[in-house]
Amino acid sequence: MANVNVTKSINVSATDAWSKLATFEGIEEFSPIAKSIVEGQGVGAKRTCIMPDGAEINEVLNKLDNENMHFEYEILSGPFPITNYVSNVFVKPTDSKNCEISWGCNFNVEDTAEQEMKSVFEGFYNVIIDSLENLIKANS
């Protein structure tokens, strides 16, 4: 099992960051995703993320803990040579105006593709966290 984790401090409040992430909607506003479609709300919600090249990633929200600012989702299908992908996202306040976001995942992958997939997800998480910070700052 491979794993990736990116933890970054950003200059927005944990409440603002969590309010954008916890809905499981609008990820295209702060990620390389071209479009997303969400069916349902809360645990069990399904999200289809459409990449710029048209590839689809199908996900389901497995856990949503508003009190501890944590959610878990799983990729059900997608263009990646992986199986059993589960991702956990945590938002932790560092003070009233700043927070730390930890975005990580575990997945199964053939040894020949492991490093490439780790790089893809690490890059993706870095872009999402940085873009989330920029979006919230631009809207405040």
Quote the tokens at residue 60. Answer: 């389901």
Q: Which secondary structure element, helix H or strand E, spans residue 124, and what is its range?
A: helix 111-138
Establish how many alpha carbons lie within 13 A of residue 127's alpha carbon, considering only the half-sphere containing its beta carbon. 13
Global pTM reads: 0.95
Q: Which secondary structure element, helix H or strand E, spans residue 103, and what is its range?
A: strand 98-109
Residue 75 is predicted with a pLDDT of 98
Residue 140 is predicted with a pLDDT of 80
| Residue 82: Cβ-neighbour burial (10 angstroms; 0-12, 13-18, 19+) | buried
Residue 47 near residue 36, CB atoms below 8 Å? yes
Residue 34 is predicted with a pLDDT of 97
Protein fold of 2-138: Alpha-D-Glucose-1,6-Bisphosphate; Chain A, domain 4 (3.30.530)
pLDDT in tens, the chain (140 residues): 999 999 999 999 999 999 999 999 999 999 999 999 999 999 999 999 999 999 999 999 999 999 999 999 999 999 999 999 999 999 999 999 999 999 999 999 999 999 999 999 999 999 999 999 999 999 88
Residue 101 is predicted with a pLDDT of 98
Instruction: Break the chain into its structural domains and give their ranges.
Output: 2-138
Residue 129 near residue 4, CB atoms below 8 Å? no
